[in-house]
Copies of this chain bind each other. A is one copy, B any other.
Amino acid sequence: MGKQNVPDIVVGRLPIYLRALNRMLQEGQEYTSSHELGERLGISSAQIRKDLSHFGEFGKQGTGYHIAYLRDQLRQILHVDREWPMAVVGAGDLGRAIAHYKGFTPRGFRVMALFDADPARVGERIGALRVLAMDELEREIKRQNIKVAMIAVPAEAAQEVANQLVQAGVRAILNYAPITLAVPPEVHVQYIDPVAHLQHMTYYLDA
């Protein structure tokens, strides 16, 4: 099935389904339904069935979805049935929290390189990693064949870091800096800006 056929908004929901299925498995559950999944996620069961139908026929009439099977299928579809080595640029508070975060490896990612522009930070050990200088970025990312990176530097520095990452071969960037990046069309970028989420919600709060 051609990837161009699946709307990006549908792709964006698959990790949420996968996350819920993993939780159900942890809770000892074996089967679920689009209805139950929808209740848990606040998404209509029709939406879930429609989303999954882009990729195949996963449920059985009467028994619903076999959770472990659907989980494995989603992991394959999202290409997280493997472990992606990841680079993190920025070893400040956020970069450190990312480097220490235990939640990546069970879900397909592992921080394998950590860079910072501050000479005072270079060489420092953070978890199992040693902070590398920016002029080691391209060589190290190529050496480890890293395709995925996270940017945790101030907004002013983020575009230049993105340029270096792309130059080194990175094809997916998760950007924590509160700035929209310009990248070539073959490079994917997603954004995490907590303040944007907070402002989205205060819109609805009474003054």
Interface residues of A (CB under 8 A from B): 3, 11-12, 14-16, 18-20, 23, 40-42, 77-80, 82, 84, 86, 93-94, 96-98, 100-101, 103-104, 107-109, 147-148, 150, 155, 171-172, 174, 178-180, 188, 190-205, 207
Contacts and interface: CB of A to CB of B under 8 A. Distances in A.
Given A93-B100, A109-B195, A78 B41 contact: no
A200 B15 contact: yes
Contacts of A192: 192, 194, 197
20 contacts: A14-B203, A16-B180, A19-B178, A19-B193, A19-B196, A23-B179, A42-B180, A77-B203, A78-B200, A79-B202, A79-B205, A93-B100, A97-B97, A98-B194, A103-B178, A103-B195, A148-B202, A150-B194, A172-B204, A188-B204
